[in-house]
Amino acid sequence: PVFRMTTKCGMLEAIKARCRAQQAPFPPPWYPLAFRLPEELEAWKTHASAHPERRWIYKPNGGARGIGIILISKIEEVDTPDEPFSSRCRAMGPFDLHDPPLARRYFALNGIIQEYVQDLKLMAGRKFAVRVYVLIARVKPLLVYLHGASYAKVCGLAFDRNCFSQAELFRHVTNQEFQKKGGQAYEDWKTIPVMTLAEVDERLAEEQRGTLRGSRGEQPMEAWSAGFWRQARRICAEVIESARGAIREKGKLGMFEILGLDFICDAGGNVIFLEANRDPSWVVDGDTKQGIIPALVAEMLGLVFSAHGETSTRLEAPQSKEGFHFEVIIDDERGISTA
Is the per-residue pLDDT at 164 higher than 90? yes
Mean pLDDT of 15-20: 96
Does residue 162 form part of some domain? no
Is the per-residue pLDDT at 317 higher than 60? no
Long-range (24+ apart) CB contacts under 8 A made by 144-147 are 144/237, 144/240, 144/328, 144/329, 144/330, 144/331, 145/303, 145/326, 145/327, 145/328, 145/329, 146/233, 146/236, 146/326, 146/327, 146/329, 147/296, 147/324, 147/325, 147/326, 147/327
Mean pLDDT of 117-142: 97
CATH at 198: 3.30.470.20
Report CA-CA distances (Å) from 57 to 164, 182, 283, 286, 288: 10, 20, 26, 29, 29
Does residue 78 form part of some domain? no
- pLDDT value at residue 2: 61
CA angle 232, 234, 235 (to 5 degrees): 60
Does residue 276 form part of some domain? yes
Which residues have C-beta within 8 Å of that of residue 51, sequence separation ≥ 6? none
Radius of gyration over every alpha carbon of the chain, rounded to an integer in angstroms: 21
Does residue 198 form part of some domain? yes
Mean pLDDT of 278-290: 86
- Residue 91: count other Cβ atoms within 10 Å of its Cβ: 8
- pLDDT, greater one: 131 or 208: 131
Does residue 125 form part of some domain? yes
Q: Which range (5-19, 45-59, 236-250, 320-334) has the least confidence?
A: 320-334
Does residue 334 form part of some domain? yes
pTM (predicted TM-score): 0.92
Closest by CA to 54, choosing from 31, 26, 32, is 32
Does residue 99 form part of some domain? no
Report CA-CA distances (Å) from 164 to 55, 133, 144: 8, 30, 38
Give bridge partners of residue 132 from the DSSP assignment: 261
pLDDT, tens digit, 9 for 90 and up, residues 34-61:
999 999 999 999 999 999 999 999 999 9
- pLDDT value at residue 321: 53
Does residue 1 form part of some domain? no
Is the per-residue pLDDT at 27 higher than 80? yes
Range of the domain at 205: 117-155+192-339
Mean pLDDT of 101-108: 91
256 close to 304: Cβ distance less than 8 angstroms? yes
Q: In total, how many domains does the chain have?
A: 1
